Amino acid sequence: MAIEIPLPLTVVFAIMVLLVGRWLIGRIDFLARYSIPDPVVGGLIVAVMLTAVRVGTGAELSFDMGLQSPLLLIFFSTVGLGADVRTLGQGGRKLLLLLGAVVVALVLQNVVGVAIAIGLDLNPLMGILGGSATLAGGHGTGAAYGQVFGEVNGLQGAVEVAMACATFGLILGGVLGGPVAQWLIRRHRLQPGVQAPGLLGPGEVPRDERRALSPESLIETILILMFCMGVGTLLAEHLVIPGITLPTFVWCLLVGIVLRNALSLSGLYRIDGPTIELMGTVSLSLFLAMALMSLRLWELVNLALPILIILLAQALLAVLLVVFLTFNVMGRNYDAAVIAAGQCGFQLGATPTAIANMQAVTSRHGLSPMAFLLVPIIGAFLIDICNALVIQGFLALPWFGF
C-alpha cells in the first residue's frame, strides 16, 4: 500500500529531519566530534523508521520530491556566486592534482570491484556496478549502466543491484567523510589557513558588513538566483557541446561564476554575503534531508553477500585513498583534510554529500575556501567525464564482451 505525501508535508518531514539531526548531534558527543552532517543523522533515522513501517505493515510512504531539483540548482548557483575569478587561478595546480587523485580512485574502484567479483565467481560486470558506475556515478549513472548490462549482457537484476549499491554508497559517503577529516586534523594537528579574499564557498561566506540580512537583500538575492537557474536551464536545454553532456546544475554554477565576477569587476552591484550563505545552506540541507529520508533501505537487504563484500572493500579503499593519496598530494594541510572529507562524499555518494561533509568539518574547525573551490568543480562536472572514460576503458577489456 502506497501513501502519497504531498509537497507541503514532504517539506515538513525534511525540516523535521534537520531538527532531529541537529538535536541528536548536540547530545551525542560522537556525532559532533566526527562532524556527521545533520541531514545524514536525521535522514537515516527517518529512513530506518519508514523501512520498519513498510516491513511491519506493508505501507510505503511516497514523498513528493518536486522541490529537490530546484533546491539543487539554487545550491550550485550559490557556489558559483561565491567564486571570485581573481582567485580561481590559485586553485589551478591543485585542481589538476586533485583530478589526478580522483582518476586513480576511479580506476582502483573498478579494479577492486572486478577483481573481487571474479574471485567470488560473479559476472565481472557486477564489479563495475559495485565500482565507479554506482559509487562515483550515483543512482543515475548506475541505473543507465544497469539497464545496458541487463539488456545487452542478460545480467539478471542489474538495475536493482545498481540502485542498492548507489544507496549504500550515499550512506557511507555521508558517514565516513567527517570522521576521516577529523582523524587527519587531530593526528597532524592541523589549523585553518588565512582566508583568501574573494574565495568563497557555501556556508563559508564572510559576513558582509555593508548591510544586515533584510527583506530587500533577500528579494535581490532571489532575483539573482532565479536568473542563474533560468539561464543555466536554458543553456542545458539548447547549448550542445559535441561529446560532452553537462548537467543543468553545472550550467547554473557556471552562470553564477560569470555573473558574480561581471558584477564585481564592473562595480555595478556587490553580492550580499549573508543572504547567499543563508540560501546555499538552507537549500543544500533540505535537498539532502529529502534525499536521505526517502532512501529505500529495504533494497540493501536484497544485496547478496558477495556484493556486500565488494561494497565494504570499496569503503575501505576510499578511506585509504583519501588518507594516503589525496591528503598527501594536496599538501598535507587543513585544506587537504577538508578536501579528503569531500572526496569521501563524491567518491562513494554524490557532490551534495561531499559539500555537506565539508560544511560539517569547517563549522567545527574553521574555513577552507580552497576546498569549497575545488570539490564542486571536480565532483559536479569533471568526475562524470572521467568516470565515463574509465568505465568504457574497462568494458573494452576481453572479460566483458562489449
Tens-digit pLDDT profile for residues 153-196: 777 778 778 878 888 888 889 899 999 999 999 999 998 864 44
According to DSSP, the residues that pair with 62 across neighbouring strands are 4
Report the Cα 269 to chain-centroid distance in Å: 31
- Residue 301 predicted with pLDDT over 70: no
Interval 10-64: pLDDT, tens: 999 999 999 999 999 888 888 887 778 888 888 888 888 888 888 888 888 888 9
- Residue 209 predicted with pLDDT over 50: no
Nearest to 18 by CA among 233, 290, 221: 290
Query: What DSSP assignment string belongs to 334-357?
Result: HHHHHHHHHHHHHHHT-HHHHHHH
Query: What DSSP assignment string belongs to 186-203?
Result: HHHT----PPPTTB--TT
pLDDT value for 211: 52
Grid coordinates of 226? 532565479
Nearest to 318 by CA among 285, 353, 362, 289: 353
Q: Answer with the residue of higher pLDDT: 234 or 194.
A: 234
- Residue 225 predicted with pLDDT over 60: yes
Percent with pLDDT over 70 in the chain: 88
Q: Answer with the residue of higher pLDDT: 333 or 166.
A: 333
Interval 55-99: pLDDT, tens: 888 888 888 988 988 998 898 888 788 776 665 566 678 889 999
Q: 203: left (phi > 0), else alpha (psi -120 to 50), else beta? A: left
Question: CA-to-CA distance for 264 and 267, rounded, in angstroms?
Answer: 5
Contact 334, 367 (CB under 8 A): no
pLDDT value for 338: 95
pLDDT value for 91: 64
pLDDT value for 140: 66
Contact 372, 358 (CB under 8 A): yes
pLDDT band per the 50, 70, 90 thresholds, residue 4: confident
pLDDT value for 110: 94
Interval 244-263: pLDDT, tens: 666 787 788 889 989 988 98
Query: Cα angle at 71 between 66 and 75, to 5 degrees?
Result: 165
Contact 375, 165 (CB under 8 A): no
pLDDT band per the 50, 70, 90 thresholds, residue 7: very high
Q: Residue range 323-338: average pLDDT? A: 94
Nearest to 175 by CA among 39, 299, 290, 302: 39
pLDDT value for 291: 82
pLDDT value for 229: 95
End-to-end CA distance of the chain: 41
